Structures are given as structure tokens and as C-alpha cells.
Amino acid sequence: MPVASSSQSAQAGAVPSAQEENAELAKFRAEWLEELQRRKDEASGASKNSAPTGSTSSTQVNRAGQPTTGVLQFDTFKIQENLAVSAARDTAATTPPALTHPAVRDGAIQPPPQTFPILEKALKAYRQAVDYEQKGNYDEALVLYRQAFRLDDNVDRAYRREEKLKAIVREQQALQAPKPATEIDELAENFKEGARITSPPILKKGHGITGTIASIVAPFLENALQFEPEKEGEPVLLNMLPEELLVVILGNLDPTSIERFAKVSKKARVVSLDPGIWRKLVQRTYLPPQIPDYDVIVPVIEKFSWDFRRVYIEQPRLRLDGVYIATCHYVRPGLSENSWVNTSHLITYHRYLRFYPNGLVLSLLANEEHSPQSIIPLLKPTLRMNGLFSGQWTLNGTIVQLTNLLDASGRFSTSLPSSDGVLSGGVSRVSGHSHGNANSTSDRSDQEPRYTFSMTLNLRSRPLGRWNRMDIESYDSVNIETGDVYPIMLKHERPFWFSKVRSYS
């Protein structure tokens, strides 16, 4: 027998080389595979001939082709099955859920074409079941629920993900849609009722001016001031203009222009401090989402003793007339042909945040190939670029909260659903999995995003009144299906600094 011959060779002290061991191992594997194939053919032939039970022989054949009747007989088919099951279990335990899907082969997502109609049919049945349940028809709803789960086990997750994505898209499209005149008038009336700024109880000259500037201009108020000409003997036409009309004109300017005018003379400084000018700025600026609700602004004004200028300067606000930019750097080691020379690369990238008065925010991450001069004029909701996200923003004190940051680069379908509940673009929905070839541009545009992102920032002012800096406090990804929040660690991030933009044309 081969066992005896091998023991005899071992006793003889013959030590085979590595090449001989490899040759013997390869020969053993070939014979073992041949034996498995032969037994499989015999089993299939026996099933075809319908052999009666109990007529099978107990004789075993070893790898040398000799029959044996030993006690230790191994079922090679059972061993192979157990090995395959254990290997699959180990692979599933160490592989992310998205990669254990049977459609993932060789690292590429290749779903069978029949998966899409089955899931669409399951989602349709699930939607009808939800509709019946809301109407109180529980028997019909139960039947449809069972039908949907028989078609797809994860249809409930796909339905929840679809509904949440629809809600996010509706909110963002509602922010971008122009509001009708009636709605604008209604919002204006609500602001007048909720944030009504009444006059202070005591009216006198110089009232509404507090802080350091009040002590500076106090001597000016005792005497009559006039605009003085740059050259003596020249007329000053501004002296012919009533102060009331000058206040109305200044009220239509931006704060930077008002402060530049105030540097002209003492008269200009006093006129620029009129509460009516800064009251209009406060009314135009501090609206939701700059404040949580309309009732917040009145206590703030009372805290500053009706000094609207200090309210505008010291009360936190997000700048809407430009872009917040974070310039980030990190060093990456490179390759060098000379071992005595170390090569390092300085990598630069930018983060952009643009805020809109209606609560829409655009977030863009761009590499050094795109300079800020080329990006800023294009930073609009119509932009389609890798790294672009759109969401909503709110400000509470100095905390800026960005929510529902959804990929707006065009890779995913973000259209509103049609009447049958299917997103336009032929979107394939499989819970937790993306379908289509990852290298195909047409397939990528028909996928649905699986995650949204949220960001928390701290607003600061350097110097006072600028509100031109934001520090990232946290950055999280939110699973649309489950709602789970996963924090993202940012290593090379830098604070955002505000840059004013004159025009986006």
C-alpha cells in the first residue's frame, strides 16, 4: 500500500527536496480531483439508472486506485461542502455588507438584469400596502405586505430610503423654486407681526447710540454741524439736502458704503448713526434661517438698548454677499530615484461654502487644479461638478448647522418622483447596493445616493462685526435607509474665511 511504502521511505531516511515535495503535492491534488470527478459521474449515473436503495457497494478506492475496506472512510463530498460553507461564513464576517452581495464579482458591481423588475414590483406592492394601511384596509395591506416581502426581503429598507430621499429632494427644490407674489406678501406680513420693532419709550436726540462711539460723538451733538468744503469758498450741495432725505438715501446702501460715508466728516458720522438706517438693515438681515424664529430679534434689540447699529455688528449673522473658503494643505511623500534625496509633495485643496437667504447652501470640495478665481463665478445651483453638495443651513447663536447635504454633482438621480412613485431617469433601487457598472457614466447618473452629510460649524468674527470665520466642529455622514450617523475624521481641515464677491456673472 502507498502508506506502507511512504513509511518505509521515511525509515530509510530519505529526505525529499522542496521541488520533490511540490511535485508530489501537485500529483496528489490532481489524483484527488480526478477521484472526485469520477465519483460525481458515478453518482449521476446511478441516479439516472434509478438504482435501488441498499445496493450500493461499501468498497472504497484510495488515491492509488486500489480498493480498500478500512474502517476510517471519509465522505469527500461532505468535507468539500463543509469547507465551502466555512469559507463563505469567514468571508461574510470579514467583508463589508455592500461587498457580500451576490452581484459583486471581481470587485465590480454586476447585477443580474432580472433584479430590477423584481424589486420594482416589490416596491409597487409595498406602496399599495402602505396606502391600504393608511386607509384602514388591513386585510388587503397584509396580503400585499406578504407579497412584497416574498419578492424581496429588504423591500422595507428600500422603501424607507426612497421616501427619505424624495423628502430631501422636495425640500431643496422648494428652496430653489421662485416664490409667488402672494407668498412673498404673506411672509412680509408675518415678519411685521412677529418681529415688530417698536419705538423706544424715550425719544431724544442721540438716543439709540451706545458703547464707545456714543462717548465719541456726544460733543458733536451739542453744536450745529455742517458739511465743510475741501477748499474754502466752494459750495457744499449736501448742506442744501434735508437730513431726513439723506437718511433715506443712506438706508438704501450697504453697511460698507455707509461706514465709508461716515469717515468724511463729523456731520457724516452723526447722520450715519441714525437708528432708521440701521433699523432697515436689521429688518432685512435677521430673518429665518439667520434666527430660529421671529420672536428672537426683539429681546436682542432690547439687550442692546435699541442701538440697531450694535445689533447689526454684534449679533451673529452669516454673510450672504460672498463665499466662505477654506484653503487646506498637507504633505504627501513621493518617490525618488536617488535614495539620498527625499521627495515630498505639497497638496492643496479648497472647500467652498455659499449661503443663500432662502436656506440653501452649496458645499464644494475642489483640488488645486481649479483655482478660486475659476470656481467662484460658477458656484451656483446649476453647477455640475464632482465634489458639489447642496443642503439646508440654519443659524442658532454662533452655531451653523448644515443638514441634508446631498450629492449634486450629477452622478445620482435627484429628480422628483413621477405619478407612479418612480424617480425619473430609470433609477434602480436595491437596498444597500448600487447597481450598474461603476465605470459607466450613464449608469452612474441613474443611481440613488445612499448617504447624506451634515456639518456643524462655529461662526466667529475677526475683527468685530465681520463674521468672517467659521471653524468645523463636526462632519458626519447619515445613512438614508437606517438613519445611522457616522462621524468623519478630518485631519487637514482649516477654518473658512469669508471672501466678498461683487458679481457671479
pLDDT in tens, 48-61: 554 444 434 334 44
How many whole angstroms from its chain centre is CA 265?
51
Share of the chain above pLDDT 70, in %: 68
CB within 8 A of 185, min separation 6: which ones? none
> Environment class of residue 164 by beta-carbon count within 10 Å: exposed (0-12), middle (13-18) or buried (19+)?
middle
C-alpha to C-alpha distances, 184 to 46, 179, 280, nearest whole angstrom = 83, 7, 18
Mean pLDDT check: name the lowest of 187-196, 241-250, 302-311, 383-392: 187-196
C-alpha to C-alpha distances, 279 to 49, 196, 215, 250, nearest whole angstrom = 99, 11, 21, 12
Mean pLDDT check: name the lowest of 17-26, 178-187, 382-391: 178-187
C-alpha to C-alpha distances, 122 to 116, 256, 423, 434, nearest whole angstrom = 10, 60, 16, 17
C-alpha–C-alpha distance, residues 475 and 298, integer Å:
33
Residue 352 confidence (pLDDT): 96
Mean pLDDT check: name the lowest of 155-164, 229-238, 430-439: 430-439
Q: How confident is the model at residue 76 (pLDDT cuts 50, 70, 90)?
A: very low
More confident residue, 140 or 172: 140
Residue 220 confidence (pLDDT): 80
How many whole angstroms from its chain centre is CA 453?
3
C-alpha–C-alpha distance, residues 49 and 59, integer Å:
20
C-alpha to C-alpha distances, 40 to 44, 45, 66, nearest whole angstrom = 6, 9, 18
Mean pLDDT of the chain: 75
Q: Is pTM beyond 0.75 here? A: no
Q: How confident is the model at residue 496 (pLDDT cuts 50, 70, 90)?
A: very high
Residue 69 confidence (pLDDT): 41
Residue 312 has pLDDT above 90, yes or no: yes
Q: Which long-range contacts (CB under 8 A, 24 or more apart) does 467-471 make?
A: 467/316, 467/317, 467/318, 467/319, 467/498, 468/319, 468/497, 468/498, 469/495, 469/496, 469/497, 469/498, 470/324, 470/353, 470/400, 470/495, 470/496, 471/495, 471/496
Helix (H) or strand (E) holding 374: helix 372-375
C-alpha–C-alpha distance, residues 134 and 125, integer Å:
14
Per-residue pLDDT tens over the stretch 260-287: 999 998 899 999 999 889 998 998 899 8
Of 92-96, 317-321, 332-336, 341-345, the range with the highest mean pLDDT is 317-321
Residue 325 has pLDDT above 90, yes or no: yes
Residue 495 confidence (pLDDT): 95
Bridge partners for 403 per DSSP: 392
Share of the chain above pLDDT 90, in %: 27
Residue 48 confidence (pLDDT): 55
Per-residue pLDDT tens over the stretch 152-190: 888 888 888 888 888 887 777 777 666 665 554 555 555
Q: Note whether 468 and 319 are within 8 A (CB).
A: yes
C-alpha to C-alpha distances, 444 to 109, 164, 327, 410, 438, nearest whole angstrom = 12, 20, 30, 9, 7
Residue 103 confidence (pLDDT): 38
Q: Where are the alpha helices (DSSP H) in 207-274?
A: 212-217, 243-250, 255-262, 266-272
| Beta carbons within 10 angstroms of residue 483's beta carbon | 9
Residue 350 has pLDDT above 90, yes or no: yes
Q: How confident is the model at residue 444 (pLDDT cuts 50, 70, 90)?
A: very low
Residue 180 confidence (pLDDT): 60
More confident residue, 13 or 275: 275
Residue 73 has pLDDT above 50, yes or no: no
The amino acid occupying position 187 is L
Residue 314 confidence (pLDDT): 93
C-alpha–C-alpha distance, residues 142 and 145, integer Å:
5
Residue 53 confidence (pLDDT): 41
Mean pLDDT check: name the lowest of 150-164, 447-461, 464-478: 150-164
Average pLDDT rounded to a whole number, residues 362-384: 91
Residue 336 confidence (pLDDT): 82
